[in-house]
Structure 1
Amino acid sequence: MTLPAVAPSAVLVLEDGSRFEGRPYGSTGRALGEIVFSTGMTGYQETLTDPSYAGQIVMMTAPHIGNTGVNDEDMESRKIWVAGFVVREPSRVVSNYRAQRSLDEDLVADGVVGISGVDTRAITRRIRSAGAMRSGVFSGAEAALAPEEQLRIVQEQEPMAGMNLSAVVTTPERYDVPAVGERVGSMAVLDLGIKRQTVTYLAEHGFDVTVLPSTTTLAEVRELAPDAVFYSNGPGDPAASGGHVEMLQALLRDGIPYFGICFGNQLLGRALGFETYKLAFGHRGINQPVQDKRTGRVEITAQNHGFAVDAPIEGITESPAGFGRVQVSHVSLNDSVVEGLECLDIPAFSVQYHPEAAAGPHDAFYLFDRFRQLVLDRRNGTATIATSGAAQ
């Protein structure tokens, strides 16, 4: 006797037709987004609550996830932002004195549809071969949909290229965080998907921080008369953020010192006149090697980006948009992607990675000190524009 086929309780479907059957994890239902992988062995809570992952289904390459639970202190924002979550083996118990809840509880509370019990190594190899793809997690009743229907749903969703997500993840209203210790000045921070620790570290370096929604206008920033401007990390395609680029160009012409990270690095690149492009599978995780081109020093960095700046790796280049000399300050040792930009004639620099990484590593933390010194020198009339190199 032939037994009737039993539909899987959860399935991950990639746009190339690949299917991986597993078990529901977190909420049940349907999750759609770009499938990406994160290589960090720790810091899953920081990854999940990083707004830069909005619109993406994140798969952890570490096989065992959730053993330390979750807590309120390590939240990088107000909620979990990932579109979906993929793990091999979720921890059956929580074992950490700081844990307040299980990871599964937070996934359910925030409505995040996940899948477990799949071969994450095979999926990673597939992404490494074919590139990041549109995907979907289907569980519960959604798992019973016909495979061809699930694939159609996945293939009809909008791709990440051309998507502007800053309005989704930004703060709904302005808020202020006072400087800690010796005050350096005021800083206007454009929240394009900022993480909590970034604001904390900027304040701890002497800045009165004003965090602004992504819809803030140039006139509103100028009204604040800030001593410095910061563009945060965030999700989406930098080519779809033309308004933020135009505002940054105006602020650079005003001579206001600028520091950008991740998405803020890509937007500085576009403001300077360079193009950006989509990477095949991006850089994600907390073990990405980057070299400072001036000193040769290698930093292990935390990253999450699917787009990069197209600028000459070697030598000094004239900014196509008329901002003077520019050079690439940092480069990825994995694939030679631009990891930092340094302006030589205006007080501006940026990096593609996250120097504030709460889960570690902290090799690049010196960049906060360097920007602080840049602002101080600018104010005292002793500015030296060069910014790269390790802290002295």
Structure 2
Amino acid sequence: MKAFLILEDGHIFEGKHIGSKREVISEIVFNTSMTGYLEILTDPSYAGQAVVMTYPLIGNYGICPSDMESLKAWPDGFIVRETSRVPSNFRSEFSLEEFLIKNDIPGISGVDTRCLTKILRESGTMNGMITTNENFVIEEVVKALKEYKVTGVVSRVSCKEKKVTTHEKFTPTDFEMAKMTYMASPEMKEAIEKATKNGVCLGEIALSCMQGTAGIAYLNKLAEDENLVKTHYKVALMDFGSKKNIEHCLLKRGCEVTVYPADTLAEEILEADPDGIMLSNGPGDPKDVSEAIEMLKDIIGKVPLFGICLGHQLFALASGANTSKLKFGHRGLNHPVKNLATGKVAITSQNHGYAVEEESVENTDLEITHVALNDGTVEGLRHKKFPAFTVQYHPEASAGPEDANDLFEDFLTMIENFKKEGEELCQNA
């Protein structure tokens, strides 16, 4: 079936329909990643956007549910040059197109994504429509596209009630991840063979053996992690559209993580007496999340704080700096970022359409710690007086390089130092 991508500047791309057949209007953005399409599709930060993949062939390793960054797909649409019809991966459970259909995501393939990306790069991010209707009236479509605005996306992706997780709990998600990892291992093979009688695999017994083996392997992996922190710090994770791996990076370091909805008041968070606060990534314009900005004004300085992506922008706004929309954003897995203190360059995973304005930081208590080497964008901030720092990029990666994963260690060190300073003040009082 034919499908069309219509941009608000009047450009029309014809291709083949993939995924859901519903018509959608959305903001069109491009991602330069060669891999990680499932993590991109399940990243809540893409809510309200249709994603163009610049790499020409997408879907060749299928869909592995354990790699998902949330429980569903979030983009409004998916635009590719070509999809792989025969995925090759022993972990794959279904194809990319099947996944798009299951998640009601409309898509289009056969598009000249190089040309499309060039338009977005030169003209800037713009709205577009994906439709299978061949009888569209271009003037009416363009009018609708120019009037469209993405709003309310954080409330759409944030959790609705708080939840508490510790690294000791073995969840169904952990089981699925461990099961996939150890399915081909000798231990797993032995467990399944033991659950076979007269050549017939007894399903329930096999599952029990598999869960036991996978569970032990998972917990052993945690115990062997050289970065595992013995002391359990309580971390409040503000969910503005958090990726699964942010929580996992805290859990595997021994933290007890309480995930809070985006509209939670400062009083409720402080009453729980967390050791640290984590501000997650998320979609949309940070200025639309006014309740979170006000919440942060009441929290900064009282508890150690670490922010990522949207959390970084909200922290900046709460501290008196300003944010603005980038021409076409940073979305990809190979963005170089420089640490201004050390001169070290890290290759980072990024996904943001807004950024902190450099000149707006000058009259605040913030200092710039990291910058993007491609365009000089502010990529990191630190508070001059209080224990708080943030980054615009994704140190948790997934997908992407783990060059900046040690920022989670810095966060825990900051918590530890803050607690020691508090104890010393009490002793000297």
- TM-score of the alignment, normalized to the shorter chain, above 0.5: yes
Alignment deviations for residues 334-378 of structure 1 (CA, whole Å, 9 cap, x no partner): 111100001121000000001111222111101001111110111
Aligned counterpart in structure 2 of residue 28 of structure 1, from 3, 21, 25: 21
Asked if 1:262 is matched to 2:309, the reply is yes
Given residue 64 of structure 1, which amino acid in structure 2 is its aligned partner? L
Query: Is structure 2 residue 377 aligned with structure 1 residue 337?
Result: yes
AA of the residue aligned to 1:53: Y
Query: Is residue 303 of structure 1 aligned with residue 294 of structure 2?
Result: no
SS in structure 2 at match of 1:127: helix
CA RMSD of aligned residues (A): 1.6
The one-letter code of the counterpart of 2:398 is A
Matches within 5 A, 1:128-277: 128-139=121-132, 142-158=133-149, 160=150, 163-179=151-167, 182-253=230-301, 255-277=302-324
Superimposed CA distance per residue, residues 192-230 of structure 1 (whole angstroms, 9 cap, x where no aligned partner): 000011101111122110001112122211221111111
Gaps of at least 5 residues in structure 2 are 169-227, 424-429
Select between 291-300 and 172-181 the one with higher mean Cα deviation: 172-181
Which residue number in structure 2 is paired with residue 387 of structure 1?
Answer: none
Supply the distance in 2 between the matched residues of 1:90 and 1:291 (Cα, whole angstroms).
35
How many residues are matched? Answer: 363
Equivalence for 2:2: 9
Please state whether the residue corresponding to 2:40 is helix, strand or coil.
helix
Distance in 1 between residues matched to 2:232 and 2:363, nearest whole Å: 31
Structure 1, unmatched stretches of 5+, are 1-7, 320-324, 384-392
For residues 12 and 50 of structure 2, the distance between their equivalents in structure 1, rounded to whole angstroms, comes to: 15
Report the CA distance between 1:109 and its aligned residue: 0.8
Counterparts of 1:312 and 1:329, CA distance in 2: 14
**Whole-Å Cα distance in 2 between the matches of residues 22 and 278 of structure 1?**
30
Counterparts of 1:27 and 1:21, CA distance in 2? 17
Structure 1 outlier segments of 4+, above 6 Å: none
1:330, distance to aligned residue in structure 2 (A): 0.4
Contact 2:10 2:138 survives alignment (8 Å): no
Larger radius of gyration: 2
CA distance in 1 between partners of 2:109 and 2:156 (Å): 27
Deviation per residue, 1:178-205 (Å, 9 max, x gap): 1465134111111000001110111112
Is 1:365 the counterpart of 2:358? The answer is no
Percent identity between the two aligned chains: 44
**Inter-partner Cα distance in structure 1 for 2:320 and 2:17:** 46
Q: 1:301 touches 1:353 (CA, 8 Å); kept in 2?
A: yes
Output the CA distance in 2 between the equivalents of 1:165 and 1:11.
25
Provide the rounded CA distance (Å) in 2 between the counterparts of 1:199 and 1:245. Answer: 22
Q: CA 1:213–1:143 in 2, change beyond 3 Å: closer, same or farther? A: farther
The structure with the greater share of residues assigned to helix is 2
1:66-118 CA-to-partner distances (Å, cap 9, x unmatched) read 01011210010010000100000000101001101111111001110000001
Q: Name the CA distance, whole Å, in 2 between partners of 1:169 and 1:250.
A: 24
Does 1:355 pair with 2:375? no
Instruction: Measure, in 2, the Cα distance between the counterparts of 1:248 and 1:59.
Output: 34
| Structure 2 match to 1:5 | none
**Residues 211-260 of structure 1, C-alpha deviation per residue, up to 9 Å, x if partnerless?**
0111212221122111111110000111111211111111114x200000
| Aligned counterparts of 2:232 and 2:382: Cα–Cα separation in 1 | 22
Q: Secondary structure, in 3 states, of the residue corresponding to 2:65?
A: coil
**Aligned-partner residue type, residue 287 of structure 2:** A
Q: Distance in 2 between matches of 1:29 and 1:349?
A: 42
Residue 94 of structure 1 aligns to a residue whose secondary structure is coil
CA 250–382 in structure 1, closer or farther in 2 if over 3 Å, else same = closer
What residue is the counterpart of 2:86 in the other structure? Answer: 93
The whole-number CA distance in structure 2 between the counterparts of 1:219 and 1:259 is 19
- 1:288 and 2:335 matched: yes
Preserved contact between residue 312 and residue 328 of structure 1 (Cα < 8 Å):
no
- Separation (CA, whole Å) in 2 of partners of 1:183 and 1:209: 13
Secondary structure in 2 matching 1:22: strand
How far 1:311 moved relative to its partner? 2.7
Asked if the contact 1:184–1:372 (Cα under 8 Å) also holds between the matched residues in 2, the reply is no
Given that 2:371 and 2:377 are in contact with CA atoms closer than 8 Å, whether structure 1 keeps it comes out as yes
8 Å contact from structure 2 (residues 75, 105) kept in 1: yes
Q: Does structure 2 retain, via aligned residues, the 8 Å contact 1:189–1:231?
A: yes
Tell me the distance in 2 between the aligned counterparts of 1:234 and 1:109.
23
TM-score by length of 2: 0.82
Task: Name the amino acid aligned to 2:110.
Answer: G
- Residue 138 of structure 1 deviates from its aligned partner by 0.6
**2: distance between equivalents of 1:185 and 1:58?**
37
| Partner secondary structure for residue 88 of structure 2 | coil
Partner SS, residue 99 of structure 2? helix
Could you list the per-position Cα deviations for residues 13-53 of structure 1 after superposition, in whole angstroms to 9, with x for gaps in the alignment? Answer: 11111110100011112121110000000100000000000
Question: Shift of the alpha carbon at 1:317?
Answer: 4.1
Partner of 2:67, secondary structure, is: coil
